[in-house]
Amino acid sequence: MSKPKVFVTRKLSSQFVKEYEEILDIRMWDKEEEPVPEEILRSQAKEVDALFTVLGDRIDETLLAEAKNLKVVANMAVGYDNIDIDAASKHGITVANTPDVLSETTADLGFSLLAATARRITEASTYVKEDNWKQWGPFLLAGTDIHHKTLGIVGMGRIGEALAKRATGFNMKIQYHNRSRKPEAEEKLQASYVSFEELLETSDFVVTVVPFTKETEELFNESAFKKMKASAIFINISRGKVVDETALIDALNHGEIKAAGLDVFYEEPIRADHPLVNMDNVVCLPHIGSASTETRTEMIHLCMKNIVEVTAGRVATTPVNN
């Protein structure tokens, strides 16, 4: 019997795939940091049993309908807004993601971004690198305290909870808003549930960890930024499309909020001439929430495991549908 065929949309070093080659016929796009051209993705999808995708790959209804042998799409991310889940379900295709393995790592990055933005760390580092440090000054690069401030987490899932856990070490007051209350998290993390409006109005740091869905699209819009404190710092580690970027730029320009730390953007990648990149009170990162070597390795193995399970006729380890 021939081995199930897999197409991986980014180049992975052979150390990650060799243990699966005995049971899977693995082919891959040959570039690590360049997305696979759409026509190659579509033609591969028609031939293979499994796709190993990353978040920039758009897996739409047309691709899924034409992929007659496709059984599973294993997406190397916890988010799966790049995939049409309803269409996959309609065509009997399993979609799997990589939850849990990245929660702590993404929370590490989220909290680091919060700290970097509040304490102006990247700006201060550039200041030294550009040889501007001539004297000590009482308010030279003075930032905002983190300890004892109020952290507002929008989206209290696994990453939100891991972020709250870190905040407890900084003696922060934690409040959250979520589709449903999390009594266990409230107790464990001393977090209080508040309405979205109250969270916006009373938090010193507003961190978004919500997935991108129709409901969360541009949740952070002009009216949301107007409700925030003028001293508030906004952090986004979820998806760029949960923010109206023009409204964010206006809010920063008009002093409606103090600063922003962003790991994700409306359209990615952004270029160096993007207006947010050139603002001193904004820290921009290239979507590296889960980017530690340990976690990315685990994510790859979880994707491969999902592929092995589904192509062998079993249920995926971390399915999103079916």
Amino acid at 83: I
Q: Does 300 bind ligand DGY (CB under 6 A)?
A: no
Beta-bridge partners for 150: 173
Residue 103 binding ligand DGY, by CB under 6 A: no
Q: Which residue has the tokens 């409040």?
A: 175
CB atoms within 10 A of CB 162: 20
In this structure, what are the phi and psi dihedrals at residue 15, rounded to the nearest 5 degrees?
Answer: -60, -25
From candidates 208, 216, 290, 311, binder to ligand DGY by CB under 6 A? 290
Length of the chain (residues): 322
- Could you say whether residue 110 binds ligand DGY (CB under 6 A)? no
How many binding residues for ligand DGY (CB under 6 A)? Answer: 7
Catalytic residue selected from 38, 267, 268, 294: 268
Asked if 116 contacts 143 with a C-beta cutoff of 8 angstroms, the reply is no
Active-site pick, 239, 245, 296, 309: 239
Q: Does 161 qualify as catalytic in the annotation?
A: no
Burial grade of 142 (CB within 10 A; 0-12, 13-18, 19 or more)? exposed
Each residue 28-67 as x (binds ligand DGY by CB under 6 A) or -, in order, gives ---------------------------x------------
> Considering only residues 45, 77, 247, 307, which one is a binding residue for ligand DGY as defined by CB under 6 A?
77
239 belongs to the catalytic site: yes
Q: Does 155 bind ligand DGY (CB under 6 A)?
A: no
Q: String of b and e for 30-54 (b: at least 16 CB within 10 Å)?
A: eeeeeebeeeebbebbeebbbbbbb
268 is catalytic: yes
CB of 102 to ligand DGY, least distance (A): 5
Distance CA 164, CA 170 (A): 10
Kindly state whether residue 79 participates in binding ligand DGY, applying the rule CB under 6 A: yes
Instruction: Check binding of 102 to ligand DGY (CB under 6 A).
Output: yes
- Active site positions, annotated: 239, 268, 287
| Residues making contact with ligand DGY (CB under 6 A) | 55, 77-79, 102, 289-290
